[in-house]
Amino acid sequence: MSWKHLFSEALAAAPARLHLAAHSHHLWPDATRAAQLQAWEDGVTLADHKWDKVFGEVMPAAQAGIAAELKLPSPDSLAFAPNTHEFIVRLVSGRARRPVRILSTDGEFHSFRRQSARWAESDEVVLETIATDPWDSFADRFIERAQSGEHDLIFASHVFFKTGRVFERVAELASLSRPDGPWLMIDGYHGFMAMPTDLSAIADRAFYTAGGYKYAMAGEGAAFLHVPPGFGLRPANTGWFAEFEDLTAPPGTIGYAPGGGRFLGATFDPSGLYRLAAVFDLYRREGLTTEAVAAHSAGLQRHLLDGLSGALAEAELLNPLDGRAHARYLAFKDARAPEWKKALDAEGVVTDVRDDVLRIGFGPYQDESDIDRFLGIAGKALA
């Protein structure tokens, strides 16, 4: 089983390609092309008034889809930006104390890793990172440090991008979060629409950021942030859209929109929101759910592991299928991983590598015949 018919244009664009990087640049469903064209049509037809439609129809549709997916109490807690890096910078700007004391891990994605390291270099933050290895003790070690009360911001991934390991104890971190600090920021990019995620119990305590680029299948420009009530009321890094709902404020005042809108920036390309809203609409029309796609992907993962042989079978699988919540990719650790990626590229197989970890991703546009094809190629091409 697959939903290849929903991706006919992306698959036809490169029919010889075997795309196994569904955890990175996900292929786009056909519905997003129509949405992109609609964004262009609105731009030329409505011109300046397109923003009425963006804020009045497109953004609310995207917010509603995200809120339903994450079981959030209200869509109004969500803000959008071109990328999650913008939200990281805006969030830290909301902490008054300098330097900002941040607790994080050594497994975060590059946007946070690079920015936080540069902040630490310039003494704008005091950064403490907890090693994710050994993994068996990571959660205990991280939560113990978080309980110290020594930090202004706690930043951690729900699913770690390199290893695919799932941090299943974020609720314990959320219990520590307070409006006056510390704040908890969850990087949900590798969990959002990859696995069922229910934030209802912690939505009043935790920030959560993700976007459309990966499993939401909507591409770039559609990052979002869930903002808990009472947290970060006046971020210092702010654009004029943050007062878009408060343009009648008295002259000389700096107003902020209620809800997540206070974390908006400035003028952006709204086409990503059109595509994201189209994906949610597609799911509704087709009766698709994250649970169904995750189960389908898990079946493909098992099929690959059952048929694995040769060099790849010798690698260390960092995120084995053990019955617990699982990422939508398999992470194989081996010193030969960069060479394996090059060999697979030469055969038209798209994967990706992070240092010595080869990541193979699974999605709704694949079926078992694609995995069989991969196994045949890998058995011959990898040494």
169/105 Cα distance (integer angstroms)? 14
C-beta separation of 327 from 166 below 8 A: yes
Structure-block tokens of residue 165: 């390991």
The whole-number pLDDT of residue 383 equals 81
Provide the 10 A C-beta neighbour count for residue 376.
Answer: 12
Is residue 36, in this structure, part of any structural domain at all? no
pLDDT above 80 for 107 = yes
Residue where one domain finishes, among candidates 262, 283, 304:
283
Q: Are residues 267 and 300 in the same domain?
A: no
Q: What is the CATH number of the domain that holds 275?
A: 3.40.640.10
Per residue in 185-215, pLDDT tens?
A: 999 999 999 999 999 999 999 999 999 999 9
Would you state the pLDDT for residue 246?
59
Quick one: 357 and 275 in the same domain? no
Do residue 24 and residue 69 come from a single domain? no
Question: CA nearest 83: which of 269, 247, 239?
Answer: 269
Shared-domain flag, residues 224 and 127? yes
41, part of any domain: no
- For range 267-287, the mean pLDDT: 97
Residue 34 lies in a domain: no
Q: Distance (Å, rounded) from C-alpha 13 to C-alpha 16?
A: 9
SS3 for the chain is CCCHHHHHHHHHHCCCCEECCCCCCCCCCHHHHHHHHHHHHHHHHCHHHHHHHHHHHHHHHHHHHHHHHHCCCCHHHEEEECCHHHHHHHHHHCCCCCCEEEEEECCCCHHHHHHHHHHHHCCCEEEEEECCCCHHHHHHHHHHHHCCCCCCEEEEECECCCCCCECCCHHHHHCCCCCCCCEEEEECCCCCCCCCCCCCCCCCCEEEEEECCCCCCCCCCCEEEECCCCCCCCCCCCCHHHHHHHCCCCCCCCCCCCHHHHHCCCCCCCHHHHHHHHHHHHHHHHCCCHHHHHHHHHHHHHHHHHHCCHHHHHCEECCCCCCCCCCCEEEEECCCHHHHHHHHHHCCEECEEECCEEEEECCCCCCHHHHHHHHHHHHHHCC
Over 70: is that where the pLDDT of 247 sits? no
Q: Judge whether 263 lies within some domain.
A: yes
User: Is residue 107 located within the same domain as residue 168?
Assistant: yes
Same domain for 342 and 238, yes or no, is no
In a domain, 39, yes or no: no
Q: Are residues 65 and 212 located together in one domain of the fold?
A: yes
Average pLDDT in the 355-383 region?
96
Residue 284 in this model has a pLDDT that exceeds 60: yes
199 with 70: CB under 8 angstroms?
yes
User: Per the structure, how many domains does the chain have?
Assistant: 2
Domain boundary among 235, 265, 283: 283
CATH of the domain at 337: 3.90.1150.10
- pLDDT bin (cut points 50, 70, 90) of residue 23 is confident
The domain of 19 spans 4-29+289-381
Whether residue 22 is found in the same domain as residue 98: no
Whether residue 247 is found in the same domain as residue 157 = yes
pTM for the predicted model, two decimal places: 0.96
Which one of 226, 259, 283 terminates a domain? Answer: 283
Residues 279 and 295 in one domain: no
Q: Are residues 52 and 179 in the same domain?
A: yes
In a domain? residue 89: yes
Is 38 among the domain residues?
Answer: no
pLDDT reported for residue 355: 93
Counting Cβ atoms within 10 Å, is residue 237 exposed (0-12), middle (13-18) or buried (19+)? middle
Whole-number average pLDDT of the chain: 95
Tell me: do 181 and 89 sit in the same domain.
yes
Most confident by average pLDDT, 20-29, 53-62, 318-327: 53-62
